[in-house]
Amino acid sequence: MTEVCPVTGAIDAKDTRAWRLLVDGRVDGAQNMARDRAIQLAVEDGGSPPTLRLYQWDRPTLTLGRFQPDTDIDASAARQLGIDVVRRFTGGRAVLHDDELTYAVIARTADGIPRGVAASYRHLCAALAEAYRRIGVAASLTAHDRVHAPSAACYLAASRADLSLDAMKLAGSAQVWHGQTVLQHGSFTITRSVDQEARLFGMSREQAALFAERTATIHSATGQRPDPDSLVGPVAASFGEVLGIGLVPGVVSAAESELERSLLEEVKAVGQRCSADTAGSATDLGD
């Protein structure tokens, strides 16, 4: 078993199995999305190592998919509920982030990531399923694509790129490629507010009932409500073991921080789409 290294410091460039582990606390939503993308750009350029980033949100935040219209959500309801709205660089439908631990994998094909959406998702899904197993949830890859009801909400649709608990959608992920580098991120959702999501996505009463019936969380599956910080260990250990990598705790570099700042206005500009990625494509993996 590959263990998370309990040390800090630079990663040995000669060790192709060594990845950086970034563990962030609660971070602003725009910063979270800009940071994921900044790391991807830096990894593709060769200035940063492959990275597993685990993070949280300093307030409830709704992320729109890269190509998703603003009109898919009720902006007035978001303001009334005190929910930030930002745009991801990855595709797919809107997701409300709150009581969760979010993961992001940023790595190149040279780091062992298969090229292509289906192959790379299958590769990473094994680590996600193992993480859920360690948490106490028997997650499995969704067998068939299904749309429970027409909606802008990510969790009212499921695909073979999602993790499910029986017939309930447990987790979806979204992905974008830049050159030979993938960014894939998703959520380990502890609890969710069906009422809030129903308001944000303009669900009918029937849709809201279906949403509650067809989705699962860590709390609903286990009866426990773990602190997000307590999930960091099992999630990191699962990626290390399944991918056969060593994880070395690190920090965001100065170059990545500068890139992050340059991207902030873009993710905050909800009225616009994120800039085109001429070297890759945005692909939804969960909707």
Residues 228-245 pLDDT 10s: 999 999 999 999 999 999
- The proportion of the chain whose per-residue pLDDT surpasses 90, expressed as a percent, equals 65
Place of tokens 């060593």: 246
Task: Give the span between the Cα atoms of 62 and 85, in whole angstroms.
Answer: 5
154 is a catalytic site residue:
yes
Are the C-beta atoms of residues 94 and 201 closer than 8 Å to each other? yes
Q: How confident is the model at residue 2 (pLDDT cuts 50, 70, 90)?
A: very low
Are the C-beta atoms of residues 173 and 161 closer than 8 Å to each other? yes
The CA–CA distances, whole Å, from 264 to 11, 97, 177 equal 28, 18, 20
User: Considering Cα of 58, then 228, then 113, then 47, what sign does the dihedral take?
Assistant: positive
Catalytic residue among 5, 125, 154, 274: 154
Q: How confident is the model at residue 169 (pLDDT cuts 50, 70, 90)?
A: confident
121-135, 139-153, 260-274, range with greatest mean pLDDT: 121-135
pTM (2 d.p.)? 0.85
The CA–CA distances, whole Å, from 149 to 141, 165, 198, 201 equal 20, 19, 13, 12
List the CATH code of the domain at 18-271.
Answer: 3.30.930.10
Listed range (78-87, 131-140, 211-220, 277-286) with the worst mean pLDDT = 277-286
